[in-house]
């Protein structure tokens, strides 16, 4: 939802995440990637779609990379590169590096965890039940966690004025019961839950589809920051022209704009052949907003968010009376 900026009496402290308006592609964010791809091709670049990288081999003598990948037809291909920019999940990247990283770094990478995500899109009759961009659902009797209203992002995303398209979002883990459910079962679940929470009626539904997104969220557990620091140190020492960007590439819960910014600044560093920008400081002020001013020196400058620590012992009760 777009809400007015929150004002707490001090005009110097306005919560930045609540905004009044913003620019949004008419037919969704995919328009940005299509425009970007077209510019790359116009300037002579080559984009290989539908490929899977299978290995990244670093030659220490020439400081170059040999990348192996499977193309659309599953044929093994390779190319040589001076720099590698990776937005792949940090765990998978470390597994595919050659020469192999140390056992300590490999264990750190294998310890990283991810939360997966799926969206059930439902097209149904418009009943004007809510105009927000999205709403969070806190009802424990349903599994849906958030619902998007795509027309509220842009009317062109749902051109039929008599229809609405809702995206019911479910947070899950790959291969749990929800993730492995068939598309038809998930669509029926979404219909039932939309009716249950009062946003639809029987007979409203026109069509539906399911989109699954692996590793949508890097998990911030007690040890994630230590594992990321271990991986960063070895990669920076041994592979100076390997650059980590994006949410999964850095195992850092950035929003889309900040994830894109890490890639843009990475390119600036490569072109200048110098570390002009510290990519790990992009969105670094999130520490302040989440933790307040009492951030310890140990965490300042990491670019990683603070994680609440577990309660390891039962708290003492106040004396009676």
Structure tokens at 174: 């790959």
pLDDT at 172 over 70: yes
Structure tokens at 141: 């009797």
pLDDT tens readout for residues 120-157: 999 999 988 888 999 999 999 999 999 999 999 999 99
CB contact set of 165 (below 8 Å; sequence gap of 6+):
121, 122, 123, 124, 149, 150, 151, 157, 158
What mean pLDDT value characterizes the chain?
Answer: 86
pLDDT tens readout for residues 72-130: 999 999 999 999 999 999 999 999 999 999 999 999 999 999 999 999 999 999 988 88
Q: Is 185 left (phi over 0), alpha (psi -120 to 50) or beta?
A: alpha
Helix boundaries (H) for the chain: 30-42, 90-95, 103-110, 150-153, 183-196, 224-238, 246-249, 256-272, 286-291
Per-residue pLDDT band for 254 (boundaries 50, 70, 90) equals confident
**Cβ–Cβ under 8 Å, residues 187 and 269:** no
The residue ranges of DSSP E strands in the chain, in sequence order, are 52-59, 64-70, 76-81, 84-86, 97-98, 114-125, 134-136, 146-149, 163-172, 205-218, 242-244
Higher pLDDT, 14 or 65: 65
Buried b / exposed e across 212-249, counting CB within 10 Å, b at 16+? Answer: eeebbebebeeebbebbebbbebbeeebeebbbbbbbb
pLDDT (0 to 100) of residue 306: 53
Task: Name the pTM for this structure.
Answer: 0.80
Structure tokens at 176: 């749990």
pLDDT at 295 over 90: no
- 318 preceded by a cis bond (ω within 30 of 0): no
CB contact set of 261 (below 8 Å; sequence gap of 6+):
282, 283
pLDDT at 297 over 50: no
Per-residue pLDDT band for 303 (boundaries 50, 70, 90) equals low
**Cβ–Cβ under 8 Å, residues 143 and 189:** yes
Tell me the domains of the chain and their CATH numbers.
Answer: 1-40 (no CATH), 81-108+221-291 (no CATH), 114-218 (3.90.660.20)
């Amino acid at each position: 939802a777009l809400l007015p900026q929150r004002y707490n009496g001090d005009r110097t402290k306005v919560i930045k995440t609540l905004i009044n308006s913003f620019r949004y592609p008419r037919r969704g964010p995919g328009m940005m990637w299509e425009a970007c791809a077209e510019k790359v091709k116009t300037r002579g670049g080559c984009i290989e779609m539908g490929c899977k990288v299978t290995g990244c081999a670093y030659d220490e003598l020439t400081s170059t990379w040999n990348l192996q990948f499977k193309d659309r037809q599953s044929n093994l291909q390779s190319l040589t590169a001076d720099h590698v920019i990776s937005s792949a999940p940090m765990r998978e990247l470390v597994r595919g590096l050659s020469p192999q990283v140390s056992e300590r770094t490999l264990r750190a990478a294998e310890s990283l965890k991810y939360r997966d995500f799926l969206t059930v899109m439902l097209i149904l009759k418009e009943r004007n039940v809510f105009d927000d961009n999205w709403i969070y659902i806190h009802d424990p009797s349903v599994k849906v966690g958030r619902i998007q209203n795509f027309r509220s992002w842009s009317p062109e995303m749902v051109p039929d004025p008599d229809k609405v398209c809702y995206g019911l979002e479910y947070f899950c883990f790959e291969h749990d019961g929800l993730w492995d459910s068939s598309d038809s079962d998930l669509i029926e679940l979404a219909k039932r839950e939309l009716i249950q929470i009062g946003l639809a009626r029987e007979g409203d539904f026109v069509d539906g589809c399911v989109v699954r997104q692996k590793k949508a969220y890097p998990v911030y557990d007690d040890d994630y920051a230590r594992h990321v620091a271990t991986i960063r140190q070895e990669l920076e020492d041994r592979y100076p022209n390997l650059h980590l960007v994006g949410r999964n590439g850095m195992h850092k819960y950035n929003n889309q704009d900040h994830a894109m910014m890490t890639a843009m600044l990475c390119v600036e560093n490569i072109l200048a052949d110098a570390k002009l920008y510290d990519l790990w400081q992009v969105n670094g002020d999130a520490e302040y907003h989440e933790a307040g001013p009492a951030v310890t020196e140990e965490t300042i400058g990491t670019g990683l968010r603070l994680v609440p620590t577990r309660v390891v012992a039962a708290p003492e009760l106040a004396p009676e009376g």
